[in-house]
């Protein structure tokens, strides 16, 4: 899954692909690099970020999705949003997946949209919201608490017509987690795989890697590669990354190791 941030303030590439043309060019490059999915988002979720209006988010994402789908109709696009209106308009424009970092908690209408269109939906765990999630994240039992959250959210989704096979789980690396929590999530990822649903991870260029290696976001490819490799070996089905070309090579070697 290649990341397309159409935002001025994302932690790693904010402002870099903020215009329609630059975002479109970036999307095409990710597809050429081997991205299976493009995750298009118009609202930053970096620690401390503030919400934007629905109109702003629509203006950033829908023209891009329309342009990609017009020129690459087979492209699989995920809409990274917590707003049902944005998700629905994105699906009508050609998006095939909803990636909701709020885990279906921000907008009660999101379940209706996912159920109506029958698309896969990513349910992510986050303690708090982006503007406060890193203030002091504390868990009684990190893995157990997140697993319980997933079980509750699956039941909630089912009640509103979302079928279990539509659901993808994301433990939310970097979202309301401490430095050590992020490593523990990857190390014990198989606990979430016990729920028999695909697991997505998004460690790409995140601050826990930067702290560990004392590197800026653009220099975290080695750390990201290590996190991705460990995550896949622990059961991750989807990896959300910035550096698709490099990570495709990592994934290829992991696949060969597992097949040997």
- Structure-token pair, residue 243: 């550096």
Measured CA distances, 201 to 37, 173, 194, 212 (Å): 14, 7, 15, 18
- Stated as kind and residue range, the H or E segment containing 123 is strand 121-124
Provide the 10 A C-beta neighbour count for residue 214. 7
CA angle 150, 151, 157 (to 5 degrees): 85
CA angle 89, 200, 77 (to 5 degrees): 30
Quote the CA–CA distance of 20 and 5 in Å, as a whole number: 11
* Residue 79 β-bridge partners: 40, 98
Smallest CA-to-CA distance from 174 within 182, 166, 186 is with 182
Smallest CA-to-CA distance from 174 within 244, 221, 224 is with 224
C-beta separation of 121 from 128 below 8 A: no
C-beta separation of 225 from 250 below 8 A: yes
Quote the CA–CA distance of 233 and 224 in Å, as a whole number: 14
* Residue 238 β-bridge partners: 200
Quote the CA–CA distance of 219 and 166 in Å, as a whole number: 35
Q: Which residues are catalytic?
A: 206, 240
């Amino acid at each position: 899954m290649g990341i397309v941030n159409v935002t001025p303030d994302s932690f790693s590439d904010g402002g870099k692909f903020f215009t329609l043309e630059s975002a479109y060019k970036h999307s095409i490059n990710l597809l050429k690099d081997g991205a299976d999915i493009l995750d298009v988002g118009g609202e930053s979720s970096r620690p401390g970020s503030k919400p934007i209006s629905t109109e702003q988010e629509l203006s950033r994402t829908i023209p891009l999705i329309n342009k990609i789908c017009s020129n690459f109709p087979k492209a699989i696009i995920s809409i990274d949003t917590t707003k049902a209106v944005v998700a629905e308009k994105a699906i009508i424009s050609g998006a095939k997946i909803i990636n909701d970092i709020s885990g279906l908690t921000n907008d009660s209408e999101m379940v209706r949209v996912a159920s109506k269109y029958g698309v896969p939906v990513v349910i992510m765990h986050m303690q708090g919201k982006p503007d406060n999630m890193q203030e002091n994240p504390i868990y009684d039992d990190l893995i157990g608490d997140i697993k319980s959250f997933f079980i509750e959210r699956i039941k909630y989704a089912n009640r509103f017509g979302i079928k279990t096979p539509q659901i993808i789980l994301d433990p939310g690396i970097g979202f309301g987690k401490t430095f050590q929590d992020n490593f523990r999530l990857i190390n014990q990822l198989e606990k979430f795989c016990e729920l028999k649903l695909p697991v997505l991870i998004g460690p790409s260029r995140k601050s826990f890697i930067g702290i560990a290696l004392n590197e800026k976001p653009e220099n975290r490819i080695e750390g990201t590669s290590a996190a991705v490799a460990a995550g896949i070996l622990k059961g991750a089905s989807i990896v959300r990354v910035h550096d698709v070309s490099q990570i495709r090579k990592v994934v290829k070697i992991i696949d060969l190791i597992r097949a040997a």
